[in-house]
Homo-oligomer: A and B are copies of this chain.
Amino acid sequence: MTQTKTPLPDVDLTQMAAQLEALGHPTRLALYRLMVRAGPEGIPVGRLQEALGIPASTLSHHLAKLTAQGLVSRERQATTLICRADFDTMNGLVGFLNDECCADSCTRARPDAPVAADGDA
């Protein structure tokens, strides 16, 4: 806790936008949710493919995008690749939305959030 309230300059707008964009595709969002439901043990790529019924190359492309944003991690297990949702990253994203992009109506998650505490006129 080096700082109680965000410095306000730009937290990481570009990175946050990139993560939101990665999730902002029906296939990728479905993919991510499958991984979340699979829990900490993860789910193999082949299983994801079966679930969505899309060609492997397309799947791989989307998976790569999610991985590039740190939303998903992959681990080799023999010939299969186990995919896992990176909850740390998702928490960061949800935290950002709560802190910077919500107002009074959103207090359920952070009753002490400053909301709009900058100079302004």
Residues on A close to B: CB < 8 A? 13-14, 16-26, 28-30, 32-33, 36-40, 85, 87-88, 90-91, 93-94, 97-98, 100-106, 108-109, 115-116, 118, 120
Contacts and interface: CB of A to CB of B under 8 A. Distances in A.
Nearest to A100: B33
A76 to B, nearest CB: 22
B39 A115 contact: yes
Nearest to A120: B37
A17 B31 CA distance: 12
Contacts of A30: 13
A94 B91 contact: no
Contact of A91 (B14, B102, B115, B118): B102
